[in-house]
Chains A and B, each alone.
Chain A
């Protein structure tokens, strides 16, 4: 079954590149450009994984992450934070809020794909 990924970023060109990259890797993609849109898309699209930019208008990535993690519907949804701020404190904050992984911009596309793949692989012994 095709895994669904929601990409959230306020940079049009990043959305373009990530959409192309992930679609080609075989995922179903939805896009969102700010925090509110991200929440709406999550509800509509029920993604398996969300690539979530931190610095965005309206609601930032941390807030969105926090809200999603409080919602039992997204219990199994993986969240990867993408941030242009590469400070340790930001990484720690993201993980504390329940993000599954954390990538600093700019990242290698191969690295992104590997992490996404690993997170979406079925948990060992779960099936």
Chain B
């Protein structure tokens, strides 16, 4: 016991030395991380080892542990322990909880604790955003705490500067924070895909864990075995000095065993759900097997780092108990007071390492959360992103993460500057713990209880967050002097039961315990009740089952293996067939087998056959069999594999859905093709008919010609009259043949579209007069009267001159053919028809057309041959007229009253610009062209 009574004063180390050591250490960290990254790229992963994993989890031990544990132990004895007992218990149960989380996270490529919760509740983006924001707010004090610890360690080591602070830039913790931002940004945002791990980061964290453990053990050993003879000697000395060396748990500051238990639970929950813990334990996990080893390695680490806390604390009390020295400074004060500068620097480095590792991982984890939940979805939704390549998107998002990392540290720094001075390390840390613990009901409940729903989770977390903020955060801010603290004591507006630290008037709990009990209790209650009311359905229920069942497959359980229940099979089917359809199918299958409900189904051969058939419909036979075999086989592969197969199959299903769409499109195309084919067949039939009709029309005159020619040839003594008569018939039939051939060719030309058209602006009047002049001699011969009445000032039409004349002549010839000789009258009129057309009417007083024949007048070879007197025509004239008129954009039709004649009308479109032109010519109103 040397110098035990010495005062709390020592020779401070020079500031430049402390700074050099601190920054030197940080650069060593850079080197470690850089080297680990390089090794990983060469295929030699440093972090793929169980003990590295366990060491990385030791990021849990922050500066709070490092300085605060001794402080706490010095003031409250064993009360430093619950913070470590909680995680120890959790790790001993790692196979139940952590392993499941790791498995789920790997299965669904989960990137953060907020992503975990959002995914569990059906990829609930809103819930994820809320959780990440809340966690962000919750961990900012914790980051502040680390920065405060660094600054505090500087002060202890180099002495509190007496001169007034020259400016913000002189604050060393700010520069440390800046270096940490660079580090976290460099090694925490290497890749966009979280499944590519941060080798360098994790290696550096593990290294830091070694440093802080080594430094603390060294200090403890020095205190216990060199300053004092043994830990026992310290305890004895303390007992001699203070009466009791280690006070009983319930003898400290009004705390009870209940508070102790609550602290353990709180620490355990925080250990699982703190963003940095989730990052190293779940996201950065290389192998599931590492979890099993860490289950004892990490508790062993905790034992080691806490082993000498009490001796150091008691020694500190023995040395500095009388001075007002902050117990948190004991770890540094002890070596300094003894003149052990080198040891003090080592301990300082240990403290820096504890603080920096936490800050780095926490900021990376929170940045990932904020980036993925807030920035990425918003940014990806913007249109320009679609145009960017993967590399550009990745680099942009990585930069966003870097900015968020800087923001997290900036917030932490700001919080520290604003409130830092007023609080002990422990209380700041506990505020963050209590915040993060609010995620527990949703996260852990979601892992074990399929009934937990999105609404329940959101309501629970919101409730917990509100109670936390009101009972813990607000009082802490009030005590920091942000606003008046008296309402914390009296309750807002003096309402006692609203006192934040004695909610509902319940007394007897420490403020922290009360806050945790109320917030977590109400949180859990609301989560369960709301989930029961708004149970998960559809996709959400699928996600619930995925999370809850993830562990049942492999691991220890035998229940699932080889004895698949119908529900599991149904879940698989639902993934491919949809929930509703699966329910229908199961119900009908149950009915077929004479069962009352699908619940009575059992997995037997028939059921498997049924399931396979149904699945095969969705994903094909081979994949269906694979899925079911994997599900059913005795030596079933792990659930991971099944899920992997399912994922692949799911992709296949996506493809198959695309295929279905394609095949629907194909069906549509086929249908159209069929229509086209039918049309073609119809056209082919019409062509055959046409050829047959043409053949008939050709053979008929040929028959007469041949018969008569043979008669003439056989009998040279034929009477002259007969001979002449026959010659004349032959000539007429030849003319008929010629006409027919010409018209067939004409029609073919019109129909194929190869005809030569020379449209121009034409005066209908002139054309009609031309045609009438051409037909006049024939009319005269048959004594048929032509009555012409053409409106004056008709605008020009747009048409082919020769074709229009052909149509008019054809119609006039037609009329002439049918009107009775002697009394026949043909009326020819022309006038405006509507806005843009000129109409030509040609009417006769012939026999007319029978009504049943009217629809076919313009078809080929459809002459009305109702009477025996067959007009000499080819049967193609009107068909040709129709095609010509329609080609020029006009219409043609016929009206007829049988026995009174027929009236043909055709229209032609006006030449461009003629439509609205005022017919300003002063021709005769009518041309009384009667002949």
Residues of A within 8 A of B (CB): 10-14, 16-18, 20-21, 24, 33-34, 37, 55, 57, 84-87, 104-110
Q: Which of A11, A12, A16, A110 contacts B710 (CB 8 A)?
A: A110
Known: A10-B870, A33-B868, A84-B696. A109 touches B711 (CB 8 A): yes
In the complex, how many angstroms separate the beta carbon of A103 from the nearest chain B beta carbon? 10
Of the listed stretches B377-385, B698-706, B745-753, B900-908, chain A binds: B698-706
Closest residue of chain A to B710, judged by CB? A109
Closest residue of chain A to B870, judged by CB? A10
Q: Name the residue among B707, B715, B725, B733 with the largest chain A CB count within 10 angstroms.
A: B707
- Bound-complex Cα distance A37 to B868 (A): 10
Quick check: A13 and B729 within 8 Å, CB to CB?
A: yes
Say whether B324 faces chain A, with CB atoms less than 8 Å apart.
Answer: no
Quick check: A109 and B714 within 8 Å, CB to CB?
A: yes
Q: Which of B699, B706, B726 contacts A108 (CB 8 A)?
A: B706
- Bound-complex Cα distance A68 to B705 (A): 30
Known: A84-B700, A85-B695, A105-B699. A21 touches B868 (CB 8 A): no
Contacts of B700 in A (CB 8 A): 11, 14, 84, 105
Closest 9 pairs (CB-CB, A-B)? A84-B699, A17-B707, A13-B704, A105-B703, A106-B703, A84-B696, A106-B702, A106-B706, A109-B710
Closest residue of chain B to A109, judged by CB? B710
Q: Name the residue among A12, A14, A16, A105 with the largest chain B CB count within 10 angstroms.
A: A105
In the complex, how many angstroms separate the beta carbon of A24 from the nearest chain B beta carbon? 8
Contacts of B733 in A (CB 8 A): 13
Closest residue of chain B to A82, judged by CB? B703
Quick check: A109 and B870 within 8 Å, CB to CB?
A: no
13 inter-chain pairs at a CB distance below 8 angstroms, sorted by A residue, are A10-B865, A10-B870, A12-B870, A13-B708, A14-B704, A16-B708, A17-B707, A21-B711, A24-B715, A86-B695, A104-B699, A105-B699, A108-B710
Q: How many residues of B contact A (CB 8 A)?
A: 29
Contacts of A87 in B (CB 8 A): 692
- Bound-complex Cα distance A113 to B698 (A): 23
- Bound-complex Cα distance A24 to B712 (A): 13
- Bound-complex Cα distance A87 to B722 (A): 34
Q: Which of A17, A24, A84, A109 contacts B695 (CB 8 A)?
A: A84
- Bound-complex Cα distance A109 to B726 (A): 15
Q: Which of A17, A37, A57 contacts B708 (CB 8 A)?
A: A17
In the complex, how many angstroms separate the beta carbon of B736 from the nearest chain A beta carbon? 9
Quick check: B692 and A106 within 8 Å, CB to CB?
A: no
Closest residue of chain A to B866, judged by CB? A57
In the complex, how many angstroms separate the beta carbon of B343 from the nearest chain A beta carbon? 118
Quick check: A86 and B699 within 8 Å, CB to CB?
A: yes
Known: A16-B729, A86-B699. A106 touches B707 (CB 8 A): yes
Given contacts A13-B729, A14-B700, 9 further A-B pairs with CB under 8 A are A10-B870, A17-B703, A20-B711, A21-B711, A84-B697, A86-B695, A87-B692, A106-B707, A107-B703
- Bound-complex Cα distance A67 to B701 (A): 28
- Bound-complex Cα distance A106 to B708 (A): 11
In the complex, how many angstroms separate the beta carbon of A77 from the nearest chain B beta carbon? 23
Contacts of A21 in B (CB 8 A): 707, 711
B residues 676-727 near A (Cβ < 8 Å) are 692, 695-708, 710-711, 714-715, 722, 725-726
Closest residue of chain B to A37, judged by CB? B868
Q: Which of B702, B707, B725 contacts A109 (CB 8 A)?
A: B707
- Bound-complex Cα distance A86 to B866 (A): 25
- Bound-complex Cα distance A33 to B702 (A): 18
Contacts of B729 in A (CB 8 A): 13, 16-17
- Bound-complex Cα distance A106 to B710 (A): 12
Contacts of B696 in A (CB 8 A): 55, 84-85
Q: Name the residue among A11, A16, A17, A24 with the largest chain B CB count within 10 angstroms.
A: A17
Contacts of B725 in A (CB 8 A): 16
Quick check: B702 and A105 within 8 Å, CB to CB?
A: yes
Known: A11-B704, A33-B868, A34-B868. A106 touches B711 (CB 8 A): no
- Bound-complex Cα distance A17 to B714 (A): 13
B residues 728-770 near A (Cβ < 8 Å) are 729, 732-733
Closest residue of chain A to B699, judged by CB? A84
Contacts of A16 in B (CB 8 A): 704, 708, 725, 729
Contacts of B726 in A (CB 8 A): 17
Closest residue of chain B to A87, judged by CB? B692
Quick check: A14 and B714 within 8 Å, CB to CB?
A: no
